Amino acid sequence: MHEITRGVVLGTSIAGMLAASALARHVDEVVVVERDEAPTGPFSRKGLPQSWHVHQLWSSGAKLIDKLLPGTINRLYQAGANRIGVPQQHITLTAFGWQHRFTESQYMVCCSRPLIDWTILQQIQAEPRITVLWEHDATGLLGTADHVTGVIVRDMATGAHREMQADLVVDATGRASQLANWLTGMGLPPVETDVVDSGITYATRLFRAPPGAGQGFPIVTVYADYRVPRPGQNGTIFPIENGNWLVTVSGTRGGEPPADDHAFTEFARGLRHPIVADFLAGAEPLTSVRRTRSTSNRRLHFDKLPQWPRGLAAIGDAVAAFNPIFGHGIIAAAMGATALSEALERVSSVGDVGALLVRKVARIVDEPWLIATSQDTCYPDCRIQAKDPRLTEKPDPRQQQLTDFVSEVATRQPVVNNALLRITSLSAPSSCMQEPDVLAALQAGPTHPRLTEPPLSTSERMLLQRA
């Protein structure tokens, strides 16, 4: 007789939901354990404090989500998400000056984070093999350091604990993950953990876009110049569903944005260029400011443990969480779920997948980890607790000069910009800079003049004049 196989996924955020969809193709039932109450619509919830803030969903992440759960991105567009081409529809002040609005080579799906989660949730709830167990907290693992056989969950309403057996447990509980402690409790050595904390604080407010800033309005971003030894401050206008703008400003330690509504726009005005504040002058605030400091880069090297238990896997922020400024968390989660799906194709028993996945996920997170941490370490009072020599040793100044040169040329050369965007959207590894046409373009240098003003279209300029 066929034995029922069960996967248990911890956490119903993006990593957890995508993992559940991958797992559902390989086991008879998937139970997703979530400590929050079931949402009743696309609303922020307690377990996702980041959901108030801008979430860039890069093209690469969108494509991976759609492969795991076909039709998701179209549903997002139908619900009002905007597809915004980059760099064409992204007005950006980079550390190296204004970016020319070259023809689109990547895009972002722009909507609120709750809409992304709600849309994915509806997709997985339509899958008969998946059940979500809301208001249940995962409190520990069952089994041994050789073989995890399930999870202990607590009913948040009654406080009662119960054991759930599983062929595979996938931890997707994000930054709150207790997995390292659970493994140590089972007798494994402490998990090597790297933390790079620039102290970046996010502050976000929702605005109704001014009349005239309808469909096609660009993303507007002012980035810090990480080469200047002062706190890094950023700001972005993100056109989302319902004709609204989600506006997030951020600052590293010593330059944090205020929680105060009145000071919000003034903070934006103090960025390297006042364009965000200038556009806000015509917009109507709909909410107060929300802040979060839960933004440090934190990476757990599960791959360095001397052994990995059968029946266990981990993906998403539970393994590596990044400073969100580059928008890499969702892509890394989707890449992890894709790797889970691929690894499941290769094993004869789902419980064997974890050992394959732990190494693959370590490779996946390395690129976004380096992109985020190498910039964060430039900011004053960035706190580093790491063994990774790439973080603890003094950077090679020639390497930094090369990176700066590439970034500068990218603002004024479309081929180099395309390559840089492939890297920053995690569509290609950084080695794509070695491609012959990119090297030739770098050698030839910028094809376009340096911009001294933001590259606004006539209608965008008129909007500013009206504000």
Ligand X SMILES: Cc1cc2nc3c(=O)[nH]c(=O)nc-3n(C[C@H](O)[C@H](O)[C@H](O)COP(=O)(O)OP(=O)(O)OC[C@H]3O[C@@H](n4cnc5c(N)ncnc54)[C@H](O)[C@@H]3O)c2cc1C
Q: E-assigned strands of 320-454?
A: 320-321, 383-385
Q: Could you write out the three-class secondary structure of 5-62?
A: CEEEEECCCHHHHHHHHHHCCCCCEEEEECCCCCCCCCCCCCCCHHHHCCCCEEHHHH
299 binds ligand X (CB under 6 A): no
Residue with tokens 């950084």, as numbered in its chain: 430
The amino acid at residue 414 is: P
Least Å distance, CB 378 to ligand X, is 20
- Looking at 6, 8, 9, 15, which residue binds ligand X (CB under 6 A)? 15
> Taking contact as CB under 6 A, which single stretch among the options 45-53, 256-264, 269-277, 343-351 is the one that binds ligand X?
45-53
> Taking contact as CB under 6 A, which single stretch among the options 22-30, 89-97, 167-175, 410-418 is the one that binds ligand X?
167-175
Burial profile 157-180: b = 16 or more Cβ within 10 angstroms, e = fewer: eeeeeeebebbbbbbbbbeebbbb
Which residues inside 190-219 make contact with ligand X, applying CB under 6 A?
Answer: 202
| Angle in degrees, CA 334, 340, 342, rounded to 5 | 105
Q: Report residue 358 as tokens.
A: 């732990």
Which residues inside 306-365 make contact with ligand X, applying CB under 6 A?
Answer: 316-318, 324, 327-331, 333
374 binds ligand X (CB under 6 A): no
- Looking at 44, 125, 131, 294, which residue binds ligand X (CB under 6 A)? 294
Going from the C-alpha of 205 to that of each of 50, 197, 440, 460, the distances in angstroms are 13, 24, 43, 21
Burial profile 432-459: b = 16 or more Cβ within 10 angstroms, e = fewer: ebeeeebeebbeeebeeeeeeebebeee
- Looking at 7, 8, 9, 12, which residue binds ligand X (CB under 6 A)? 12
Nearest residue to 224 (alpha-carbon basis) of 234, 209, 214: 234
10 binds ligand X (CB under 6 A): yes
In whole angstroms, give the CA distance from residue 126 to residue 120: 10
Which residues inside 392-451 make contact with ligand X, applying CB under 6 A?
Answer: none
Q: Report residue 274 as tokens.
A: 């006042």
Closer Cβ to ligand X, 316 or 351, answer by number: 316
Please give the size of the binding site for ligand X, defined by CB under 6 A: 39
Q: Could you write out the three-class secondary structure of 292-304?
A: ECCCCEEEECHHH
53 binds ligand X (CB under 6 A): yes
> Taking contact as CB under 6 A, which single stretch among the options 42-50, 86-94, 142-150, 368-376 is the one that binds ligand X?
42-50
- Looking at 6, 35, 298, 299, which residue binds ligand X (CB under 6 A)? 35
Closer Cβ to ligand X, 36 or 435, answer by number: 36
Least Å distance, CB 414 to ligand X, is 25
Closer Cβ to ligand X, 12 or 377, answer by number: 12
> Taking contact as CB under 6 A, which single stretch among the options 7-15, 276-284, 361-369, 458-466 is the one that binds ligand X?
7-15
Residues that bind ligand X (CB under 6 A): 10-16, 33-36, 47-48, 50, 53-56, 137-138, 172-176, 202, 292, 294-295, 316-318, 324, 327-331, 333
